[in-house]
């Protein structure tokens, strides 16, 4: 496989990584219909853990089958498929080598009142299953944020030493943030920056809204304004916070919404220099044909053909 100039340039941003990690990042960046472009669409299916099976899969019952998600990601020509241990194990042999996988190594569930996640898989699992990366969620602002960051530090060091890449879901939540604060522009940018500081290769955040939440940051945003009304400008601000664009930043899809609403977000991510989307519910909760159509429309936007 010949790497494109763009992928070589992206790999050059990761100056401390060994050839194994770079090869795994290259695998993700070169796979699927967006392979080589520097943009990505990834399918994450950890919602069964996070929200429960019925809330996740009842809208499209074939999605109860773990193999369905491998098929969907492969047929859609996505860059990678991310899931917790059981989901990856369930299709590991059938789909070995068919699509890069990201093993989600910590998980939360809706039966807990604390904002925390349990470590549910290991770096050894990721290697055994042929994954290209581990995935880890941190909740900046939660009562457990520092333990989560310390767990990530340890797992990321181990993963990198074994030549794996590290994908960080950086989702602010906790007592000091109201619902609007969780996706406020300053908070999303802060979350992306912290993930970069902990050593993430790929950072996943939610699309930022026009709210500025942190009292201490308001003056700075007044002095150095971002065009809050422009979704692309907000995306660009988050990407800037991730080492001035020297880290890959992808944006999540959120709850199921209309295709047009999702594509509008994707246009803003593309225009703002975001590196792609990691979209779960909006893909697997639709009937497969519809999901394939939507994913294909997203890919077209990232290919610069809106
Ligand atoms: P969606 O596209 O379904 O939002 O998936 C992205 C994701 O990060 C999942 O990996 C995760 O399960 C989910 O969002 C968590 O969402 P929340 O924390 O808002 O419940």
CA-proximal residue: ligand 1, atom 8 (nearest):
252
Catalytic residue among 22, 104, 160, 204, which? 204
Taking only the tens place, the pLDDT of each residue in 148-175 is 999 999 999 999 999 999 999 999 999 9
Say whether pLDDT at 306 is over 90. no
Give pLDDT, residue 305: 83
Ligand 1 pocket by Cβ (under 6 Å) = 44, 46-47, 50-51, 169, 171, 252-254, 278-282
Mean pLDDT for all residues in the chain: 97
**254 alpha carbon – ligand 1 mean position (Å):** 6
CA-proximal residue: ligand 1, atom 11 (nearest):
47
Report percent pLDDT > 90 for the chain.
98
Give pLDDT, residue 130: 98
**Adjacent-strand bridge partners of 41:** 277
Taking only the tens place, the pLDDT of each residue in 235-257 is 999 999 999 999 999 999 999 99
| Residue 229: Cβ within 10 Å count | 8
Give pLDDT, residue 207: 97
Say whether pLDDT at 104 is over 90. yes
Of 40, 42, 47, which is best to mutate to test ligand 1, by the most ligand atoms within 8 angstroms of its C-beta? 47
How would residue 214 be classed by pLDDT, with cut points 50, 70 and 90?
A: very high
What is the average per-residue pLDDT within 53-77? 98
CA-proximal residue: ligand 1, atom 19 (nearest):
254
How would residue 43 be classed by pLDDT, with cut points 50, 70 and 90?
A: very high
Taking only the tens place, the pLDDT of each residue in 2-37 is 999 999 999 999 999 999 999 999 999 999 999 999
CA-proximal residue: ligand 1, atom 13 (nearest):
47
How would residue 139 be classed by pLDDT, with cut points 50, 70 and 90?
A: very high
What is the average per-residue pLDDT within 120-126? 98
Q: Is 288 a catalytic residue?
A: no
Report percent pLDDT > 70 for the chain.
100
Say whether pLDDT at 222 is over 90. yes
How would residue 137 be classed by pLDDT, with cut points 50, 70 and 90?
A: very high
**Adjacent-strand bridge partners of 101:** 81
**51 alpha carbon – ligand 1 mean position (Å):** 9
**139 alpha carbon – ligand 1 mean position (Å):** 13
């Amino acid at each position: 496989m010949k790497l494109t100039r763009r992928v070589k340039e992206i790999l050059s941003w990761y100056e401390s990584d060994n050839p194994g990690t770079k090869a795994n990042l290259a695998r993700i960046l070169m796979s699927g219909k967006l392979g080589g472009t520097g943009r990505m669409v990834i399918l994450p299916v950890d919602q069964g853990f996070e929200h429960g099976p019925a809330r996740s899969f009842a809208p499209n019952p074939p999605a109860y089958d773990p193999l369905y998600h491998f098929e969907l990601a492969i047929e859609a020509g996505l860059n990678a498929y991310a899931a917790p241990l059981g989901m990856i194990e369930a299709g590991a042999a059938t789909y070995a080598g068919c699509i890069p996988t990201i093993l989600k190594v910590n998980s939360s569930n809706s039966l807990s009142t604390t904002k925390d996640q349990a470590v549910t898989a290991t770096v050894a699992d990721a290697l055994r299953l042929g994954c290209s990366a581990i995935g880890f969620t941190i909740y900046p602002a939660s009562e457990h944020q520092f333990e989560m960051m310390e767990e990530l530090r340890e797992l990321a060091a181990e993963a990198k030493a074994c030549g794996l890449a590290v994908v960080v879901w950086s989702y602010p939540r906790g007592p000091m943030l109201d619902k609007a604060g969780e996706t406020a522009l300053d908070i999303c940018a802060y979350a992306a920056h912290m993930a970069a500081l902990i050593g993430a290769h790929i950072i996943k955040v939610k699309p930022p809204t026009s709210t500025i939440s942190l009292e201490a940051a308001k003056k700075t945003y007044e002095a150095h304004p971002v065009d809050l009304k422009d979704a692309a400008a907000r995306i660009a601000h988050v990407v800037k916070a991730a080492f001035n664009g020297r880290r890959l930043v992808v944006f999540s899809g959120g709850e199921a919404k209309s295709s047009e609403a999702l594509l509008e977000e994707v246009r803003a991510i593309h225009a703002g220099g975001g590196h792609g989307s990691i979209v779960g519910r909006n893909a697997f909760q639709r009937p497969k044909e519809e999901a394939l159509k939507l994913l294909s429309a997203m890919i077209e936007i990232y290919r610069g053909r809106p």
